[in-house]
């Protein structure tokens, strides 16, 4: 039960695990998450389901080693079993046919946005995905995201791979084509080549660091583009009992585990979310130092 069947390390800090958990995999849907406890003394941590195979009874998670629990998880190898896997949890991402969708994934958020992009494409939408990371070593799943999208744009903050800049820079180019686009040739009608390529966005779905999701929300807000983000607050039980994942959405308290994790980005109080994410930093550092 909960056996690790595959593991692939993408960088010094980021790795993928495939876990055999038939009951969870059978019910998993895009946008949902699991809560795992690696060992008897480990803490419960929420991780978005990055991929799932119902027939094989497997699901995949992508983990970035930041604190004690994720580092301990990183030491586990195929053949070992994770003590607890609870899920699938959260409300699945609403998948419907809306038109042209831009799926934005930053860092390990690439794994979280993958099943959503795939489901939206399967539903008949035109999916343009933007993925980015701080540098090339932290970028992964380019091939999987290309398969899940009609068009893929790749960027790195430092320019070590593909275009240099943030995912929001690429998003702005889709929303507001630059004046450097070529002009129509004689006999052509319409506007520039880039304007023709970057059709109106009907929906933006973003997953990544909180500061990135806030930047995406502020990029789309002036244009009135519906934007959804998958939030990652501190979480303990995942069933709405502990209240640790409380977020403010539209001025009202919501629990990300049972009311989300997807929310209207333009309604999220990101300042409150980031403040709550920082409240246990001292304890997290102490636990890591002790390890």
Please give the average per-residue pLDDT across 203-213, as a whole number: 97
The pLDDT value recorded for residue 178 is: 57
Give percent above pLDDT 90 in the chain: 77
> Burial level of 275, CB count in 10 A (0-12/13-18/19+)?
exposed
Enumerate the domain spans of the chain. 3-89, 100-178+194-230
Chain CA centroid to CA 152, Å = 15
170's CB contacts (< 8 A; 6+ apart) are 130, 132, 153, 155, 163
pLDDT of residue 192: 38
Residue 113 has pLDDT above 90, yes or no: yes
Which helix or strand (DSSP H or E) is residue 267 part of? none
Task: Examine the pLDDT at 117 and tell me if it is beyond 60.
Answer: yes
* Average per-residue pLDDT for the chain: 90
Q: Please tell me the distance from the alpha carbon of residue 119 to that of residue 95, in angstroms, as a whole number.
A: 7
pLDDT at 146: 98
Average pLDDT over residues 43-64: 96
Q: What is the pLDDT of residue 284?
A: 72
**Average pLDDT, stretch 76-95?**
97
Q: What angle do CA 85, 90, 95 make, to 5 degrees?
A: 120
The reported pLDDT for the residue numbered 237 is 87
pLDDT score, position 193: 37
Indicate the range of 2-11, 17-26, 184-193, 207-216 predicted with least confidence. 184-193
Predicted local distance difference test score (pLDDT) of residue 81: 96
CA distance linking residue 246 with residue 252, whole number of Å: 10
Q: Flag whether pLDDT at 179 surpasses 50.
A: no
How much is the pLDDT for 281?
74
pLDDT (average), residues 270-286: 83
Q: Which fold has domain 3-89?
A: Elongation Factor Tu (Ef-tu); domain 3 (2.40.30)
Q: What average pLDDT does range 92-115 have in this prediction?
A: 97
For residue 108, give the nearest of 204, 236, 208 by alpha carbon.
Answer: 208
Q: Is the pLDDT of residue 119 over 50?
A: yes
Does 3-89 match 100-178+194-230 in CATH topology?
no
Farthest-apart Cα atoms in the chain, separation: 71
Cβ contact 240:254 at 8 Å? no
Looking at the predicted structure, is the pLDDT value of residue 122 above 50?
A: yes
pLDDT at 48 over 80: yes
pLDDT for 286 beyond 70: yes
Confidence of residue 90 (pLDDT cuts 50, 70, 90): very high
Fold of 100-178+194-230: Rossmann fold (3.40.50)
pLDDT, average across residues 21-30: 97
Euclidean distance between CA atoms 241 and 277, whole angstroms:
18
Kindly report the number of other CB atoms within 10 A of residue 81's CB atom: 14
Q: Is the pLDDT of residue 189 over 70?
A: no
* pTM summary value: 0.90
Cβ proximity of 136 and 143 under 8 Å: no
Q: List phi, psi (to 5°) of 29.
A: -135, 160
């Amino acid at each position: 039960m909960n056996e690790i069947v595959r593991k692939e390390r993408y960088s010094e800090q980021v790795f993928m695990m495939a876990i055999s958990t038939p009951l969870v995999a059978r019910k998993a849907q895009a946008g949902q998450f699991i809560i795992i406890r690696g060992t008897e003394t480990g803490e419960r941590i929420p991780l978005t389901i990055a991929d799932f195979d119902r027939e094989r009874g497997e699901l995949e998670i992508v983990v970035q080693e930041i604190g004690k629990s994720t580092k301990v998880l990183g030491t586990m190898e195929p053949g070992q079993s994770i003590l607890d896997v609870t899920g699938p949890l959260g409300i699945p991402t609403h998948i419907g046919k809306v038109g042209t969708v831009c799926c934005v994934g930053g860092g390990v958020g690439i794994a979280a946005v993958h099943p959503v992009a795939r489901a939206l494409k399967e539903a008949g939408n035109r999916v343009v995905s933007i993925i980015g990371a701080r540098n090339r070593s932290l970028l992964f799943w380019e091939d999987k995201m290309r398969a899940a999208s009609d068009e893929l744009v790749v960027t790195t903050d430092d320019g070590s791979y593909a275009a240099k800049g943030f995912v929001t820079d690429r998003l702005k180019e889709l929303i507001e084509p630059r004046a450097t686009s070529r002009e129509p040739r004689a006999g052509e009608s319409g506007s520039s080549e880039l304007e023709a390529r970057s059709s109106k966005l009907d929906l933006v779905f973003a997953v990544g660091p909180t500061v990135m999701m806030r930047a995406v929300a502020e990029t789309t807000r002036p244009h009135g583009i519906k934007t959804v983000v998958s939030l990652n607050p501190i979480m303990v039980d995942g069933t709405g009992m502990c209240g640790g994942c409380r977020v403010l959405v539209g001025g009202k308290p919501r629990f990300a585990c049972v009311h989300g994790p997807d929310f209207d980005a333009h309604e999220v109080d990101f300042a409150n979310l980031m403040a709550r994410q920082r409240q246990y930093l001292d304890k997290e550092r102490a636990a890591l130092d002790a390890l």
